[in-house]
Amino acid sequence: MPRKSCCNETIKLKPTLLGLILLLAGLPGSGFASNSSSLNESLSGYYAREGNGGSPAQAAGNNIYIRFFPERWLAMLFLPYPEAQQVDNSTITRVFDAARAQTTSSAYLRGTFDLLEQNATLQIERYGYLEDRIVFECGSLAPCTIKLGDGYLELIKPGVINEHIIRYRHINAD
């Protein structure tokens, strides 16, 4: 029985593998690159939803805050309304830090974090980049996106009929 040489088959596969690698490298994956400096998300302070303390907070039952962390982590904090009106900026920052210290992965956390009078909910997720936006899982029909501006961000949540755009302003809590 003649012996087959696997070298000929390997040589035939090399151009195919090389082409596949070049194709994957050339796809528009650059939109997911981790170049945060081009988007300017702020790792200092946090973002507060416009309408916190007003009728949007009353309707939703909470004030909502967003904070970015190093290594592409994002946290959303939901403080119960109206008690959220008595919470100061430094406490909000400490709640974010305490919750982030409790997990090394994506998580939903609920508690007082030894800083609040009532339980708050905190969602921590990884985020990525798609063109000029930040993309993350937010429990909606599809991922949420964030468009950053000068001193604010717009959270774009997908809806059944149209998108919901919610504006947040940047708060320096230093």
Q: Is residue 44 pLDDT above 80, yes or no?
A: yes
Pick the CATH number of 36-171 from 2.60.40, 2.40.128, 1.10.3470, 1.10.10: 2.40.128
Determine the average pLDDT of the residues in 122-133.
94
Q: Identify which has the larger pLDDT, 112 or 20.
A: 112
pLDDT tens per residue, range 82-120: 888 899 999 999 999 999 999 999 999 999 999 999 999
Q: By C-alpha distance, which of 94, 86, 84 is closest to 119?
A: 84
Task: Give me the residue label for tokens 């708050």.
Answer: 120
Distances (CA, A) of 144 to 112, 125, 165: 26, 11, 10
Give CA–CA dist 75/6, Å, rounded.
53
Whether 170 and 42 have beta carbons less than 8 Å apart is answered as yes
Domain residue extents for the chain? 36-171
